[in-house]
């Protein structure tokens, strides 16, 4: 048993059981021992997980193309701010800016990284040392102030703490308690009426024995983003589903998973603070809650069609004539776009705040807004 687990057990013995959302918050974000707050976080091939940015620079280059079009849609302002939230190792920033060098857009942009983990900031600064004049670091979105441009995230929302619920004679919530020496689940009444309202909102009626997650933090995040964004776009990439698919009868055990050294397990109460805990994103909630505060959803599709629409095939052509291992590079790009890789598991959503209803190239091949 590690130090964080001992602390959580002592808290439960003193104060009583906590919601799973509270436990997940502590396990991931405790300032001393949380997974995302310490030096223990491992991203990449040798770590607990990797993201699209670790596969090939073409991923960030395509994101750069989409952001450039957003800049064009907004009338090519002299000051276009890109805010990347939870930027991981910093590869998206590095590869994107390198791909944009020489473009008129490059001279107009300001790149802001929102990173709370001091250890990750140091790693990002080392990686981005040659781009230091174009990049700034912040610990929160509020520190940046007013944003005109795009707020971008890749695999952020799936790490928001979630409530766990189970349908019995009525909807129950899963709490984290203790059996004396170890953490254990305990069922109880739902901790907030917002959970009941959530299921009504998305017309979900769970059957007996149905277990799933409710992510209410997305609503708070959208409120914060909307406050900061004066004009521009929100570009969100994550693995997830529409509400209909998320809460289908076939997905009756939910989507909660843990990652440790690329191994998947379903035991979030084990090794608290030493493994990643995630849940898929209900993109219908991102749209619905965004709509309510004036954010217009202009695009939604899988990562594969999004990258292909932006011309990732041109990067494949470059592989054939450039240096390096063509087959290795091709295999990596295929993982980004093919259904068997991240092409369908990861979804892309664009929301807009401003006049009009712009169309973006990334959604020209497939736009699945009607399914949300």
| Whether 124 contacts 87, CB under 8 Å | yes
Q: What pLDDT is recorded for position 42?
A: 59
Q: What pLDDT is recorded for position 50?
A: 56
Residue in the block written with tokens 């997940």: 24
Work out the widest C-alpha separation in the chain, in whole angstroms. 65
Q: What pLDDT is recorded for position 340?
A: 86
Structure letter (DSSP) for residue 136:
E
Of the candidates 329, 328, 320, the residue with the CA atom closest to the CA atom of residue 58: 329
90-109 exposure pattern, b = at least 16 Cβ within 10 A, e = fewer:
bbbbbbbbebbeeeebbebb
Alpha-carbon gap, residue 77 to 80, rounded angstroms: 6
Written as six digits, the tokens of 154 are: 């890749």
Strands 163-167 vs 171-178: parallel, antiparallel or unpaired: antiparallel
Q: What pLDDT is recorded for position 322?
A: 77
Reduced to 3 states (helix: H, G, I; strand: E, B; else coil), residue 253 is: coil
pTM across the whole model? 0.94
CATH 3.40.50.12710 fits 52-160+215-254+284-352, yes or no: yes
Residue 78: count other Cβ atoms within 10 Å of its Cβ.
Answer: 6
Residue 223: count other Cβ atoms within 10 Å of its Cβ.
Answer: 13
Q: What is the mean pLDDT of each run of 10 residues along the chain (372 residues)?
A: 94 96 97 86 53 83 97 97 96 96 95 94 94 92 97 97 97 95 96 98 96 98 98 98 96 95 90 95 98 98 97 86 82 90 94 97 97 96
The terminus-to-terminus CA distance of the chain in angstroms comes to 43
What are the structural domain ranges in the chain? 52-160+215-254+284-352
Alpha-carbon gap, residue 120 to 116, rounded angstroms: 8
Q: What pLDDT is recorded for position 260?
A: 84
């Amino acid at each position: 048993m590690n130090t964080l687990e001992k602390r959580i057990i002592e808290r439960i013995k003193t104060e009583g059981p906590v919601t799973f959302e509270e436990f997940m918050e502590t396990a991931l974000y405790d300032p001393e021992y949380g997974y995302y707050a310490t030096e223990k976080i491992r991203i990449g091939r040798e770590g607990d997980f990797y993201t699209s940015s670790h596969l090939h620079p073409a991923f960030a280059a395509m994101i750069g193309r989409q952001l450039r079009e957003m800049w064009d849609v907004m009338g090519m302002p002299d000051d276009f701010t890109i805010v990347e939230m939870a930027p991981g190792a910093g590869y998206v920033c590095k590869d994107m800016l390198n791909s944009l060098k020489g473009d008129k857009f490059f001279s107009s942009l300001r790149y802001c990284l929102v990173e709370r983990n001091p250890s990750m900031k140091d790693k990002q600064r080392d990686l981005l040392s040659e781009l230091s004049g174009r990049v700034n670091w912040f610990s929160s979105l509020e520190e940046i102030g007013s944003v005109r441009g795009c707020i971008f995230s890749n695999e952020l929302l799936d790490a928001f703490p979630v409530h766990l619920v189970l349908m019995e004679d009525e909807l129950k919530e899963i709490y984290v308690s203790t059996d004396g020496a170890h953490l254990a689940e305990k069922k109880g009444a739902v901790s907030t009426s917002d959970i009941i309202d959530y299921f009504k909102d998305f017309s979900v009626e769970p059957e007996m024995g149905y277990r799933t997650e409710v992510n209410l933090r997305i609503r708070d995040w959208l409120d914060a983003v909307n406050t900061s964004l004066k004009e521009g776009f929100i570009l969100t990439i994550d693995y997830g589903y529409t509400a209909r698919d998320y809460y289908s009868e076939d997905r009756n055990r939910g989507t909660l998973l843990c990652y440790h050294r690329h191994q998947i397990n379903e035991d979030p109460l084990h090794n608290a603070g030493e493994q990643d805990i995630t849940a898929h994103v209900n993109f219908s909630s991102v749209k619905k809650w965004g709509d309510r505060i004036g954010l217009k959803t202009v695009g939604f599709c899988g990562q594969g069609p999004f990258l292909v629409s932006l011309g990732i095939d041109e990067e494949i052509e470059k592989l054939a004539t450039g240096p390096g291992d063509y087959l290795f590079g091709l295999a990596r790009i295929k993982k980004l776009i093919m259904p068997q890789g991240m092409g369908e598991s990861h979804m892309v959503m664009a929301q807009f705040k401003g006049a009009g209803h712009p169309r973006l190239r990334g959604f020209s091949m497939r736009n699945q807004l009607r399914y949300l």
